[in-house]
Amino acid sequence: MSLLLTLYWIFFKIGLFTFGGGYAMLPLMEAEIIARQGWLTHPEFIDIIAVAEATPGPVAINSATYVGFQVAGIPGSLLATLGVISPSLLLLLVLGPFLLRWIKDPRVQRFTRGLRPAVIALILLAAISLGRAALVDWSTLIIAAGLLGLRLLRRTSPLITIALGALLGLLLYPY
């Protein structure tokens, strides 16, 4: 299979088998992109996630776009992005007319209630995996703890948190 078709298929599977949004997709992306395909290293993946988080738009779509570009240029970014959004688009087109009718059904509510813990588990897994790769020295640990403290105690805006992290990175790692 060609590289472009592989990119599309991998991101299609990631979009299809992940519930809960972009952060829940990160463990699958990591497994496919780093472990199975070897397209990126952990530090490169962390950098892509950081850029995807700092730019406007959903983290899953931004990540797919950046990974696709890194692997196969503009055609790769287009096909990876199309791959990650295709399952949601197809499901909404097919199921959309029925969703309003089904949303109140107790079976659908039990199904979504069961998905919530799974989504939390995937997000925690992504946080642990990203943390292991990103917290590489005392400076990164202190930055993360300080920003987490600001976010929790002062309810600092996520935009300010990201901007402060970027600024601290520029100041502490000037190379």
33 within 8 A of 46, measured Cβ to Cβ: no
- pLDDT (tens place) for every residue of the chain, 175 residues total: 699 999 999 999 988 877 666 677 778 888 888 889 999 888 888 888 878 777 777 888 888 998 999 999 999 999 999 999 998 888 888 887 777 777 778 888 888 788 788 878 877 877 787 777 778 888 888 888 899 899 989 888 888 888 898 888 888 877 6
Query: What does the DSSP 8-state code read for residue 11?
Result: H
Query: Whole-angstrom Cα distance, residue 73 to residue 170?
Result: 27
60 within 8 A of 22, measured Cβ to Cβ: yes
Query: What does the DSSP 8-state code read for residue 103?
Result: T
Query: What does the DSSP 8-state code read for residue 137?
Result: S
pTM for this model (two decimals): 0.66
Find where tokens 């640990």 sit: 141
Domain boundaries along the sequence of the chain: 3-103
What local confidence, expressed as pLDDT, does residue 1 receive? 66
Give the burial class of 39: count Cβ atoms within 10 A of its Cβ; 0-12 exposed, 13-18 middle, 19 or more buried: buried
Query: Whole-angstrom Cα distance, residue 55 to residue 119?
Result: 23
